[in-house]
């Protein structure tokens, strides 16, 4: 029996070997590259129609068993340990570890007591050209949800 993790590895290996771009798969599916990549990395469920379109763009013909896996809402969480070991992902964790209380106090000062939603949420990853070396720009954008008195 194939697991969701094995299917992710198969998709990534196929994409790498054949030099396919996530953005092209996203165009075929008709959603943003961030959303489609997350889905194919095993964090979001897809409809049968989206799976077929993604399969065509990738040049993979998903079996019924694979399609069922991609349709199921996954048990989310893409990392093998609570503290990530991969340097690219660790740097993001470090930002939260170091600046987490700073972010908290600044958001609470601006909005009052509440949180930034991680569900009503989008992210955008882009390249920013810079003569001193190009920069990665990550925009996290989530609805503010206030705690309420009752």
- Token pair of 33, please? 């590259």
- Token pair of 113, please? 């007591």
Query: Of 41 and 56, which has the nearer Cβ to a copy of itself?
Result: 41
Bridge partners, 115 (sequence order): 145
Does the annotation count 94 as an active-site position?
yes
Query: Could you say which of 94, 97, 108, 135 is catalytic?
Result: 94
Query: Of 21 and 59, which has the nearer Cβ to a copy of itself?
Result: 21
Tell which positions 85-124 bind a copy of itself, by CB under 8 A.
85-111, 113-123
Tell which positions 7-66 bind a copy of itself, by CB under 8 A.
9-10, 12-14, 16-17, 21-22, 31-35, 37-38, 41, 43-45, 64-65
Does the annotation count 127 as an active-site position?
no
Residue 133 CB, shortest distance to a copy of itself, in Å, is 5
Alpha carbon distance 93, 85 (integer Å)? 10
Using DSSP, state whether 122 is helix, strand or coil. Answer: strand
Q: Which of 34, 24, 25 is nearest to 141 (CA)?
A: 34
Does the annotation count 9 as an active-site position?
no
Residue 57 CB, shortest distance to a copy of itself, in Å, is 15
Alpha carbon distance 112, 38 (integer Å)? 31
DSSP symbol at 78: -
Active site residues: 91, 94, 117
């Amino acid at each position: 029996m194939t697991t969701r993790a094995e299917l992710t590895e198969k998709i990534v290996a196929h994409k790498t070997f054949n030099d396919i771009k996530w953005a092209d798969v996203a165009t075929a599916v008709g959603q943003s590259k961030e959303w489609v990549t997350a889905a194919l990395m095993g964090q979001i469920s897809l409809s049968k129609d989206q799976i077929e379109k993604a399969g065509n763009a990738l040049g993979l013909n998903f079996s019924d068993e694979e399609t069922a896996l991609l349709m199921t809402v996954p048990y989310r969480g893409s990392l093998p340990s609570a503290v990530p070991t991969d340097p690219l992902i660790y740097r993001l964790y470090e930002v939260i570890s170091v600046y987490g209380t700073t972010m908290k106090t600044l958001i609470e000062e601006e909005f009052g007591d509440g949180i930034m939603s991680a569900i009503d949420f989008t992210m955008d990853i882009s390249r920013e050209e810079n003569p001193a070396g190009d920069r990665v720009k990550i925009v996290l954008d989530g609805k503010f949800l206030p705690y309420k008195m009752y």
